Amino acid sequence: MDLVVGRKLFSYTSGVILEVLRFKLTSENHASSLLVEPAERFEVSSDPDDNKFFDVVYSLKAGFLISLDKKHVLKLRDGERRFVLNGHEFLILTPAEFLEFVERDKNFKA
């Protein structure tokens, strides 16, 4: 998998991308974890195991759902990588796309 940051092209395995993502979210932006018990449940994906992620994004009104699931989750986004769930719009991105987004938006806070 390749990641373009600025004008540099980097080749990463999924594991390396996830490590970089974890580092960026925990050290640079001081993100924290939340225990979530969604009040609403949705049946969005053809894979029932994926629906819990949509439930959490909706409950937190999160701006992103990060996934490598090309077979189910990534297919649900539109051409601009957006998805609307019960009026809540968010981006569905791969880890590499999310890192690219963070690199472009220096004011981004997790």
Tokens of 93: 């991105």
Query: Using CA atoms, how far apart are residues 29 and 47, in angstroms rounded to an integer?
Result: 32
Residue 110: predicted pLDDT = 56
* CA 61 distance to own-chain centroid: 13
- Per the prediction, the chain carries an average pLDDT of 80
Determine which helix (DSSP H) or strand (DSSP E) holds 18, and give its type and residue range.
helix 14-23
Pairing state of beta strands 64-66 and 88-93? parallel
Q: What is the pTM of this model?
A: 0.70
pLDDT digits (tens, 9 = 90+) for 16-54: 766 766 666 666 555 566 778 889 999 999 999 999 999
Mean pLDDT of 93-98: 91
Instruction: Determine what percent of the chain is predicted with pLDDT higher than 70.
Output: 65
